[in-house]
Amino acid sequence: MRNALNMICRWVENPNSDALKRHLSRIHDYLWIAEDGMKTKITDGAQNWEIAFIVQAFLSADINDEYGPTIERALKYMKKAQVTRNPPGDQSYWFRNRSKDSWTLSTVDSGWGSSDTSAEVIKAILLLSRISLNLDQNFKEKQWLFDSVDFLLTVRVW
């Protein structure tokens, strides 16, 4: 629903804007016509949230030897799904926390960093670092993981 409302706001702001055109190109991600009328999604899924829990479940069930390649692909996905930049503009104007170095609930396209999802992904990654899979190449450059912990510290509540 948020995307649909953003699209309407962009249309009111400027019906010929590039921002509106980008919304229109993705409209089928969140609005569609079904047999019983128009349908909408609030978000484009919960992929990051789910994959973090799936990895944690695999590791707690001690089936990492059986599913090693799947778990390695999950780690590669988690690294790829990390938000690498903040949305453009002044974040304080929009009352937004930073998104950079976080994980969203769904996909990186969402851009809304989630402290809960980020914490669960970090937990899954830390658990992965303890197993004997060949993860060394994934952990050679650890700054991306340190940056994600820094994100969590920026959204803490006192």
Residues acting as catalytic residues: 116
Neighbours of 119 (CB within 10 A): 18
Sequence letter at residue 129: S
Is the overall model pTM greater than 0.75, yes or no?
Answer: no
Neighbours of 74 (CB within 10 A): 19
Under-70 pLDDT residues of the chain: 1-2, 42-44, 132-141, 157-158
pLDDT digits (tens, 9 = 90+) for 40-76: 776 667 889 999 999 999 989 988 788 888 888 898 8
91 phi and psi angles, rounded to 5 deg: -60, -35
Dihedral sign for Cα atoms in the order 76, 84, 142, 98: negative
Residues 6+ apart with CB under 8 A from 126: none
d(CA 38, CA 139): 45
15 phi and psi angles, rounded to 5 deg: -65, -10
